Amino acid sequence: MQRLLRPTLLISAVLALLGFGVTPSNAATTITVATAIGRQDGSAASVTGYVVGQPTATSTVVRSNFPNDYALALADTASQTSTSAMLYVQIPDAFRASYGLQSNPTLLGKQITVTGTLTAYFSHPGLKNATAFAGGGGTSDPGDPGDYYATATGKTGAALKSALHAIISQQTKLSYDQVWDALKVTDQDPNNSNNVIEVYSGRSIAKSLNGSGVDDWNREHVWAKSHGDFGTATGPGTDLHHLRPEDVSVNSARGNLDFDNGGTAVPQCTGCTADSDSFAPRPAVRGDVARMIFYMAVRYEGDDGFANLELDDQVNNGTAPYIGKLSVLKAWAAADPPDAFEKNRNEVIYSQFQHNRNPFIDHPEWISSIWP
């Protein structure tokens, strides 16, 4: 995405060309955690340290069962246990999906760099108003490019849902044929560029094996297309945010079933279960499935010639524009937060294909705000 220079940066560039050296007073410098603890003066700095837990009080840092994505603690060594040697970092909303410990518990022990303001947090030496995170296997992209969600900031409930609908409805639409090639990019196996990962089964399969054969992969509509009668029409029928590769047989076994716990094992889909009225994918992607469903319910509100897609707390929805089970999908989303594959997929759809995002990958906390 091309970004415009801020006025201060533009002025600095012009003065530099004229031969005047300019050093902004808030220029960030890279420092250790120990230096950051001793320099709580409101200055800007980039601090490099190891993630050692989440602060929950002035003298308390937890290393498991993280309550939320709001904060983390940094230290100069990964084994540090003394809170006096830790810097408490406030995580702004836009960075929580990538660097919050509830969503990313594997960050514990990883080295990261955070840029922000050196000031107390939890009445303890800290860093607030962060503008960048990097390292730890995460990304410096906060998952909120530019001001993408600006008009939704501060809203809750129905107002939030309405604002997000307006934002994500601005998208480039693909034809159903174009979806084949797009899925080969969005769902590429990170360990084998010749393959894609099937969503329910988790099987890595050659990109070239797309088709209708019994062991091929095809285009699964996670929001079953009969639940709203949109078929493969350009729009909900071709929206990459809920279209995923899946084995032909497993796709058929899922059919148009709602989502719920229980049932018996599904052949060729380890960890999947189904019964007469519901389907459950393998646990590793249950949150992914839930967030795709939440996206569809916000994106398609009946104002573009298609049905108003909504969630309810039941199964057996048939061909109604509803899908369930809401309480189960919320639990799945909480138990399986966004991982690196899901976040990358969201970014690829945004940057290369549809130019819109799934807000519930970027901001999982919005799920409970819209569906309390």
Residue 231 shares a structural domain with residue 186: yes
- For residues 113 and 198, membership in a common domain is answered with no
The answer to whether residue 60 is domain-embedded is yes
Residue 235 has pLDDT above 60, yes or no: yes
- Please tell me whether residues 116 and 156 are part of one structural domain: no
**Strand 243-247 with 258-259, pairing:** unpaired
Whichever domain contains 91, its CATH number is: 2.40.50.200
Residues 198 and 123 in one domain: no
| Residue 142 covered by a domain | no
- pLDDT computed for residue 140 by the predictor: 39
**Residue 333 in tokens:** 């989303």
Residues 114 and 159 in one domain: no
Query: Tokens for 116?
Result: 């922000």
| In the predicted structure, residue 9 carries a pLDDT above the cut 60 | no
Tokens linked to 282:
């393998």
Contact (Cβ atoms closer than 8 angstroms) between residue 329 and residue 294: yes
pLDDT at 142: 44
CA-to-CA separations, 10 to 1, 19, 44, 127, 269, in angstroms, rounded: 18, 14, 20, 27, 55
**Do 128 and 192 fall into the same domain?**
no
Q: Which domain holds residue 57?
A: 30-134
Say yes or no to pLDDT of 8 above 60: no
Report the pLDDT averaged over residues 234-240: 98
Per-residue pLDDT at 210: 96
Same domain as 244, residue 178: yes
Containing 127, the helix (H) or strand (E) segment is: strand 126-135
DSSP letter string over 84-122?
Answer: GG-EEEE--GGGHHHH-TTT-GGGTT-EEEEEEEE--BT
| Structure token pair of residue 101 | 């410990």
91-100, 148-157, 254-263, range with greatest mean pLDDT: 254-263
Q: Is the domain of 345 the same as that of 236?
A: yes
pLDDT (average), residues 173-189: 96
Instruction: Categorize the per-residue pLDDT at 145 as very low, low, confident or very high, splitting at 50, 70 and 90.
Output: low
Tokens (6 digits) for 255: 């059919």
Let me know whether 106 and 241 are in one domain: no
**Cα distance between the two ends of the chain:** 34
- 237 with 265, same domain: the answer is yes
pLDDT, average across residues 44-70: 93
Tell me: the pLDDT tens digits for 275-287? Answer: 999 999 999 999 9
The single-letter code of the amino acid at 243 is: L
Predicted confidence at residue 78, as pLDDT, reads 82
Alpha-helix runs per DSSP H in 154-274: 157-168, 176-186, 248-254
> Does residue 162 form part of some domain?
yes
For residue 29, what pLDDT is reported?
Answer: 53
The DSSP letter of residue 223 is: S
Residue 221 has pLDDT above 80, yes or no: yes
- Whether residue 212 has pLDDT greater than 80: yes
| 30: region left, alpha or beta (phi > 0 left; psi from -120 to 50 alpha) | beta
Q: Return the closest-CA partner of residue 357 out of 172, 151, 140.
A: 172
- CA-nearest of 205, 281, 285 to 245 is 205
Average of per-residue pLDDT across 315-331: 96
Boundary residue ending a domain (72, 99, 134): 134
pLDDT for the residue numbered 1: 40
Tokens of 81: 């246990």
Residue 14 has pLDDT above 50, yes or no: no
Q: What's the confidence (pLDDT) of residue 137?
A: 55
* Per-residue pLDDT at 94: 86
Percent helix, strand, coil in the chain (nearest 5)?
30, 25, 45
Can you give the pLDDT at residue 19?
A: 35
The last residue of a domain, from among 134, 162, 190 = 134
Task: State the pLDDT at residue 77.
Answer: 87
Phi, psi angles (nearest 5°) of residue 226:
-75, -20
Q: What is the rounded CA–CA span in Å between residue 210 and residue 311? A: 31
| Any domain includes 166 | yes
Tokens 């071709």, residue located? 238
Distance CA 85, CA 111 (A): 16
| Of residues 105 and 309, more confidently modeled | 309
pLDDT for 2: 38
Domains in the chain, number: 2
Q: H or E stretch including 31?
A: strand 30-31
Residues of the chain above pLDDT 90, percent = 78
Say whether both 256 and 314 belong to one domain.
yes
Question: What is the pLDDT at residue 136?
Answer: 73
Contact 141, 345 (CB under 8 A): no
Question: Is residue 133 helix, strand or coil?
Answer: strand
| Percentage of residues in the chain having pLDDT higher than 70 | 90
SS3 235: coil
Same-domain pairing of 271 and 315: yes
313 has a pLDDT exceeding 90: yes
